Amino acid sequence: MDFQLQHTESGSNARAGLITTDHGQIETPIFMPVGTVGSVKAVHMSELKSDIGAQIILGNTYHLYLRPGLEILKQAGGLHKFNSWDGPILTDSGGFQVFSLTENRKLTKEGAEFRSHLDGSKHFFSPENVVDIQRVIGADIIMAFDECTPGDSDYEYAKKSLDLTENWLDRCISRFKESECPYGYRQSLFPIVQGCVYPDLRKRAANNVAEKGADGNAIGGLAVGEPTAKMYEMVELVNDILPKDKPRYLMGVGTPANLLESIERGVDMFDCIMPTRNGRNGQIFTRHGIMNMRNEKWKNDFSPIDEEGVSFVDRLYSKAYLRHLIHTNEILGLQIASIHNLSFYLWLVKEARKHILDNTFTSWKRSIIEDITRRL
């Protein structure tokens, strides 16, 4: 993987860049739709590519390891062949999912023992086998195994957790260097900066990660319960340390406003389940505000879902029709909402990139930020 930093806006840290992988190029800043078990819920690959404009999607190591399992993925020739997505893919390490299994996991220096949420069966993730698993999945960008520290952790727990994550990172890097992609193309390993909300731990983690010389770096353990202002503070602090000539990936974030605020602070890559999960629950993001399609007010509004939207669904269907579909739990409603929201997120980062290149990002962000957070 290669990264070219093309422009940084004068007066802010907002950046435009170009990532080149063996499965194609990615213009940054970029939002990556989440395809947890090999699919972006309710969305065809053709829609992702031609309508939504996705350039890279995510897969989840924990879920893919459990289902369909490594043997099937290996037989298929990797996730790209299995799900018919021929663009770049990133897989997270499964650390967040194991972290979420609070009652069913045990962490040691060796790794994480956990029980499957599906059938209660016992499994073990170590830094080494998480790299091996991601090699078999075949993503272009794979993540180091880490512990995702809860946002309200006390200092001692956060420090102990960071010790573990840093030990695991060294082991991930060693395994990555001594192994190869079974399908013959390049893969890149991103370390993850942890440290909870404690500045000295975040600085220590960022310096340690920066020294590794990886193809890119991630910021994890944010948007997990800490105040939003604290999240932005940690992003600024970490990005002051991470190398400028490598992409920075803020994991699991977030709302449209979170994206713009973080882009201004120098983040290049984002993922979040929010556009699809919230869409399936009837929440629609637009440049003029947020609509809850379950509300009565849309019942007889026959205007297009979003007259300024960029997806085919935005003008093909009305607000009243979408409200009807959501209200009656029709699968088509979930599809329309997911496609619209993903299209909006991809439009947002594309517009951000355009304004960064024009040196107008900060003023544009200021003009749009209140609108995109307004409840309609």
Q: Tens digit of pLDDT for each residue in 337-375?
A: 999 999 999 999 999 999 999 999 999 999 999 999 999
> Is there a contact between 181 and 187 (Cβ–Cβ < 8 Å)?
yes
- Averaged pLDDT, 108-123: 92
Q: Tens digit of pLDDT for each residue in 245-286?
A: 999 999 999 999 999 999 999 999 999 999 999 999 999 999
Instruction: Mark whether 140 is an active-site residue.
Output: no
User: Dmax of the chain from CA atoms?
Assistant: 62
DSSP three-state, residue 22: coil
User: What pLDDT band is residue 220 in, cutting at 50, 70 and 90?
Assistant: very high
Distance CA 166, CA 172 (A): 10
Tokens matching residue 159:
């420090």
Q: What is the pLDDT of residue 232?
A: 98
Question: Is the confidence at residue 174, as pLDDT, over 90?
Answer: yes
Provide the angle, in degrees to the nearest 10, between the axes of the packed helices 361-373 and 256-264: 160
Distance CA 360, CA 354 (A): 9
Its CATH architecture, for the domain 2-271, is Alpha-Beta Barrel (3.20)
Question: Is the confidence at residue 102, as pLDDT, over 70?
Answer: no
Q: pTM here?
A: 0.97
Mean pLDDT rounded to a whole number for the chain: 96
User: What are the strands, taking DSSP E only, across the chain?
Assistant: 2-8, 15-21, 24-28, 30-32, 57-60, 89-92, 105-108, 111-115, 122-125, 141-143, 188-190, 192-193, 217-219, 248-250, 269-271, 283-286, 289-292
Which entry of 51, 268, 271, 314 is annotated as an active-site residue?
Answer: 271
Instruction: Mark whether 92 is an active-site residue.
Output: yes
Spatial CB neighbours of 122, under 8 Å, sequence gap ≥ 6: 113, 114, 115, 116
Considering the chain, tell me which residue range(s) the CATH 3.20.20.105 domain(s) occupy: 2-271
Which entry of 92, 140, 268, 306 is annotated as an active-site residue?
Answer: 92
Q: Pick from 199, 203, 194: which is nearest to 169 by CA?
A: 194
